[in-house]
Amino acid sequence: MTCTETRDLFSALADDALTPAERAALDAHLAGCAECRRELAGLLRTVKLVRAIDPERAPAGFVDRVLAAARPEPARKRLARRLLAPWPTLPLGAAALFLVAGLAVLLFRGSPDQRQAARYQPPTPGPAVQAPTPETAPSTGPAAPRETGSSATTAPREVAPAAPPSSREATAPQRSRELEALKNRVEQPAPAERRAETRAEPGSAPRDAAPPAEPPRAMAERQVATPPAVEDGRRAKVDQAQRPPASERFSSAAQDTRADAAKDTAKEGKLRQESPASAPPVGAAGVVPSVAAKSQMVPQIAPLSRTGPMTGVPAAPPDVTAQLRVPDVAAAELSLIELATRVGGRQTGRRIDGGRVVVELAVPRDAYAQFVREATALGAVSIESQATDRPVLAVAVTVSN
């Protein structure tokens, strides 16, 4: 046996893995070869070193983490995840393109009418005239009201059931009472402060940073919420730097100016760079509610809508649409509203669609799973959804039997 052949067996010798024949040949060679004996000693020391390495231990809590990862998800959680899945995977570019396209359509379609409407805006106030004001606000743009925080999203919807014009007049007295109640609620805390709080919410920062969402929101803000907000001294302070002088704000021409300015800015793609103070969320608490609250005092400036039944531009679709089949529609309707309230949401509207009652609700995303679970107890629920990652989901439930 040569030295090379002998040394090829050293490793196996360390593991006691030699056949008896190999072992005999090896021993015979080693007996007469000092060089190979030194080599063997060196290799065995190396093996000993490696084997002296302490075995590693898995970190504390590893078992629990594995068990948690392996635990099957509850069915409702899987459902919620499936519902929420499409949006995060929507390519950002496509979303941005969609929003920009929508904005362009709104601008070019709405602007001339808008200006004309503003010029001929009747100066006489009245609750009946004001009623549509808040109502149109939430449907200002496809994405606009959705970009707001949890408290913000629901506020305008609460006073803005998307009822057809015919039913609107019938409910005018009730609406006035609602507006009155809302006014009281909205005036404390101060809208400016509430807006500040809204922005300070964890979810608001990324929204402000999201480029596709910004232009329509800023547009809507300028178009709709600016005039009444002008009356709000607290807000005026906040937005002073970005707004025209007070004297201009009362003229409809000033609205044109702003509309043009906004359009130009949008074209230049600079809206995103604006200070957040110039473009708070449309539905931010205090902004649109102040429309309702303040419009009675300063009615000559009525915010304009670019969407809704009067404009032919449909309002933003709900995040979740569902069908609820029950024996007793009226009772189920009440139960749904009660359920939404219980999970921290509220009713935002009610309409009749094709002879069927559609209840519109705002449901906090965190409580959505619970909402679905409990709604299932009311009757047969089928959900066809387009959910988002917004903190509050707009849920439209068609109740029928």
Residues that bind other proteins (CB under 8 A): 8, 10-12, 14-15, 17, 42-43, 45-47, 49-59, 62-63, 65-67, 69-70
List C-alpha distances in Å: 1 to 42, 123, 362. Answer: 20, 113, 86
Look-up of token digits 């400016």:
192
Closer residue to other proteins (CB): 37 or 168: 37
CB of 42 to other proteins, least distance (A): 5
Contacts of 36 (CB under 8 A, 6+ apart): 3, 6, 7, 29, 30
CB of 59 to other proteins, least distance (A): 6
Closer residue to other proteins (CB): 40 or 322: 40
* Helix extents (H) in 280-320: 288-295
CB of 58 to other proteins, least distance (A): 4
Closer residue to other proteins (CB): 20 or 112: 20
C-alpha neighbours within 13 Å on the C-beta side of residue 92: 4
In the numeric block, which tokens belong to residue 153? 């999203």
Closer residue to other proteins (CB): 54 or 268: 54
CB of 135 to other proteins, least distance (A): 52
CB of 15 to other proteins, least distance (A): 7
Closer residue to other proteins (CB): 34 or 69: 69
CB of 3 to other proteins, least distance (A): 14
Q: Answer yes or no: are the C-beta atoms of 350 and 358 closer than 8 Å.
A: yes
The string of DSSP letters for 45-78 reads: HHHHHHHTSPPP-PPTTHHHHHHHHHSPPPHHHH
Closer residue to other proteins (CB): 48 or 342: 48
Closer residue to other proteins (CB): 10 or 368: 10
CB of 70 to other proteins, least distance (A): 5
Torsion, Cα of 34, 38, 39, 44 (10° steps):
130
CB of 80 to other proteins, least distance (A): 22
Residue 44 CB neighbour total at 10 angstroms: 14
In the numeric block, which tokens belong to residue 223? 């178009």
In the numeric block, which tokens belong to residue 291? 């429309």
In which region does residue 32 sit, left (phi positive, over 0), alpha (psi from -120 to 50) or beta (all else)? alpha
Closer residue to other proteins (CB): 12 or 210: 12
CB of 255 to other proteins, least distance (A): 53
Contacts of 331 (CB under 8 A, 6+ apart): none
Phi, psi of 19 (to 5 degrees): -75, 160
Closer residue to other proteins (CB): 53 or 241: 53
In the numeric block, which tokens belong to residue 256? 């044109």
What distance in Å separates the CA atoms of residue 125 and residue 145, rounded to the nearest whole number?
Answer: 26
